[in-house]
Chain A
Amino acid sequence: MTEYAHTVDVAVIGGGPAGLAAAAAAAREGADVLLIDRNPQLGGILNQCIHDGFGLHAFGEVLTGPEFAHRYLHQALDAGVQLQSHTLVTHLSPDGALTCSRYGARETVHTKATVLAMGCRERTRGMIRIPGTRPAGVYTAGTAQWLTNMANIRIGRRVVILGSGDIGLIMARRLTWEGAEVVAVIEKLPYPSGLPRNINQCLLDYDIPLHLSHSVTCIHGKDRVERVTVSRFDEHGCTVPGSEFELACDTLLLSVGLIPENELSRHAGVALDRTTCGADVTDTYMTSVPGVFSCGNVLHIHDLADWAAEEGERAGVSAAQYVDGTTRPSDPASVAVRPGDGVRYVVPQRARQTAETVLLSLRVTAPRGPTTIRAVSGDAVVGELRLRKAHPATMEQVTIRLSDASGDVEVRCE
């Protein structure tokens, strides 16, 4: 086995929107940056997201996923980032050394800082425990999207989609266009999880029924899916007896949630947040391991790639400043930022007292009407966001002023 070793200032693991933006930002700050991705092509999941709706916030225009990825790829190239695709990082040690596998050779990369941007993966049938037989024809929505948009493979003719997240809705329209019949979209919650835009343009345009407060409770079929049983769920999350009906189909797509892909982080000793399943970070996006930063969907699930890329930029700048000594591990992040009433999580979870302002990303626990999200420290209100409505599917952001804070910060809905 051949072994190589080299040294860089900043290594970025993952070449999706967050990783590309982080690498470009760190390089613009003057760092020597290496970006590593396991796929042959950079851009991450954006390459298979051929629909439009990207870039409205980042570029002020509507782009498709591949076009959005191309913009950030060129930012990284223009900033002098070394790009290395086809390379799998197999281990991250707490001292910043990466072990990589590339075309059968092992490489070691020594770094002064590392940015984690590995993204997330989909929840599977096994994770939501759908009873029934185990036939072919059950796919996660993102896998179906890859097969359809990248590999040109037809996945089925009569499709039921479980979960009303955006990937599932986008695939409902995509499969309709590719000649399949989408029988129904089934959502366990009493409200859809996807954007109103996608409900309108992907379901209503094609008369695809959406069954809210329902879920698939059995999969039938020997070799291939033949039909699924669908049941209604009450407000306590229990099935309503007698509400079952069956839908004939040969394919079931699952769009039932995303999980940050944190195996490398965990092995490096990075402390994770139990709610986000991503790292616990400071306002510089540094994890509990000094010199290791986290951003994008590996930190918490974003609803827009634009937000993941912006977060990547902030983490990339922080990593470069850590390397050149602008920020030091000796700046303790002593202010805890905690979710309060009506707030599911807040990122970052800790802040340095010396930081003047910190941008918080958060989600509410349930849909609400007019809401004020307030960040409170002692008796002082350190940040406030007024919303006409709030929804768990929509990430909200609020800036807090730490100069006004006395001790820890709680963020709550009022």
Chain B
Amino acid sequence: MNERIIPCILCPNGCELRVAWDGQPSEQSIAVDGNLCPKGVSYAITELTHPMRTLTTSVRVRNGVQRLTSVKTAAPIPRDAVPAIRALLRPATLDAPVAIGDIVLSNAGGTSVDVIATRPVPRRSSEDPA
């Protein structure tokens, strides 16, 4: 029998979910205790079987008033897909101007989730300091 405590992050109650399972964790084999609401059960099962994360990082911008814009996956993606998508974003460079919501990478790593810009970067005019 495997056991783990997973803090539920879905609401400020912050339940400490006591999770136990036999063999390979699956929806049937996982027992959850310590949850105040049913969302805790599905959260614990997701955390153990296919945890989801939002990736936030930054990419370079050419000719902008800043060198970087920040980006995020428009929805949570499987945690296992995070390293591959980070590698895809490493060489990415955008041209200013950048607006919030601009697509940086569509269908990132085959997850059917886009990576989008989260900070606007105006284009640098010739008078601006480099």
- Given A50-B58, A205-B79: A151 touches B67 (CB 8 Å cut-off): yes
Say yes or no for A87: interface residue by CB 8 A criterion: no
Residue of A nearest to B55 (CB): A177
Quote the shortest CB–CB distance from B61 to chain A (angstroms).
Answer: 10
- Asked if B6 and A200 make an inter-chain contact with CB atoms under 8 angstroms apart, the answer reads yes
- Given A50-B57, A149-B58: A177 touches B86 (CB 8 Å cut-off): yes
Complex Cα distance, B119 from A63, in Å, reads 11
Q: Which residues of A contact B14 (CB under 8 A)?
A: 196, 389
- Asked if B119 and A47 make an inter-chain contact with CB atoms under 8 angstroms apart, the answer reads yes
Q: Which residues of A contact B6 (CB under 8 A)?
A: 200
A62, A67, A150, A200: the one within 8 Å of B66 (CB) = A150
- Asked if A201 and B70 make an inter-chain contact with CB atoms under 8 angstroms apart, the answer reads no
Say yes or no for B7: interface residue by CB 8 A criterion: yes
- Asked if B7 and A200 make an inter-chain contact with CB atoms under 8 angstroms apart, the answer reads yes
- Given A152-B60, A205-B79: A199 touches B7 (CB 8 Å cut-off): yes
What's the interface size class on A, roughly? 20 to 34
Give residues of chain B (15-50) contacting chain A, Cβ–Cβ below 8 Å. none
- Asked if A50 and B70 make an inter-chain contact with CB atoms under 8 angstroms apart, the answer reads yes
- Asked if A388 and B13 make an inter-chain contact with CB atoms under 8 angstroms apart, the answer reads yes
Q: Mark B114-130, 1 if CB is under 8 A from A, else 0.
A: 00001110000000000
Complex Cα distance, B36 from A286, in Å, reads 40
Q: Which residues of A contact B65 (CB under 8 A)?
A: 40
- Given A66-B118, A177-B86, A197-B7: A52 touches B54 (CB 8 Å cut-off): yes
- Asked if B13 and A52 make an inter-chain contact with CB atoms under 8 angstroms apart, the answer reads no
Say yes or no for A51: interface residue by CB 8 A criterion: yes
Give residues of chain B (74-121) contacting chain A, Cβ–Cβ below 8 Å. 79, 86, 100, 118-120
- Asked if B119 and A200 make an inter-chain contact with CB atoms under 8 angstroms apart, the answer reads no
Residue of B nearest to A153 (CB): B67
- Asked if B100 and A70 make an inter-chain contact with CB atoms under 8 angstroms apart, the answer reads yes
- Asked if B53 and A205 make an inter-chain contact with CB atoms under 8 angstroms apart, the answer reads yes
Say yes or no for A64: interface residue by CB 8 A criterion: yes
Quote the shortest CB–CB distance from A312 to chain B (angstroms).
Answer: 21
Say yes or no for B62: interface residue by CB 8 A criterion: no
Q: Which residues of A contact B13 (CB under 8 A)?
A: 388
Complex Cα distance, B6 from A62, in Å, reads 21
In this complex, how many residues of chain B approach chain A with their Cβ under 8 Å: the count is 25
B54, B58, B79, B120: the one within 8 Å of A62 (CB) = B54
Give residues of chain A (43-72) contacting chain B, Cβ–Cβ below 8 Å. 47, 50-52, 62-67, 70
- Asked if A197 and B67 make an inter-chain contact with CB atoms under 8 angstroms apart, the answer reads no
- Asked if A50 and B7 make an inter-chain contact with CB atoms under 8 angstroms apart, the answer reads no
B7, B9, B79, B119: the one within 8 Å of A66 (CB) = B119
Quote the shortest CB–CB distance from A90 to chain B (angstroms).
Answer: 23
Could you say which of A41, A50, A201, A205 has the most chain B C-beta atoms within 10 Å of its C-beta? Answer: A50
- Asked if B100 and A152 make an inter-chain contact with CB atoms under 8 angstroms apart, the answer reads no
- Asked if B118 and A50 make an inter-chain contact with CB atoms under 8 angstroms apart, the answer reads yes
- Asked if B54 and A152 make an inter-chain contact with CB atoms under 8 angstroms apart, the answer reads no
Residue of B nearest to A40 (CB): B65
Q: Which residues of B contact A41 (CB under 8 A)?
A: 66
Could you say which of A47, A67, A149, A151 has the most chain B C-beta atoms within 10 Å of its C-beta? Answer: A67
Quote the shortest CB–CB distance from A71 to chain B (angstroms).
Answer: 10
- Asked if B70 and A149 make an inter-chain contact with CB atoms under 8 angstroms apart, the answer reads yes
Q: Mark A182-223, 1 if CB is under 8 A from B, else 0.
A: 000000000000011101110001000000000000000000
- Asked if A64 and B56 make an inter-chain contact with CB atoms under 8 angstroms apart, the answer reads yes
Complex Cα distance, B71 from A201, in Å, reads 18
- Asked if B118 and A177 make an inter-chain contact with CB atoms under 8 angstroms apart, the answer reads no
Complex Cα distance, B82 from A201, in Å, reads 12
Q: Which residues of A contact B79 (CB under 8 A)?
A: 205
- Asked if A67 and B68 make an inter-chain contact with CB atoms under 8 angstroms apart, the answer reads no
Complex Cα distance, B17 from A196, in Å, reads 12
Residue of A nearest to B9 (CB): A197
Quote the shortest CB–CB distance from A133 to chain B (angstroms).
Answer: 33
Complex Cα distance, B74 from A63, in Å, reads 10
Quote the shortest CB–CB distance from A69 to chain B (angstroms).
Answer: 9
7 A–B pairs (Cβ distance < 8 Å), ordered by A: A50-B57, A51-B56, A66-B119, A150-B66, A200-B7, A201-B9, A205-B51
Top 5 closest pairs, chain A to chain B, by CB: A196-B7, A50-B70, A66-B119, A197-B9, A64-B118
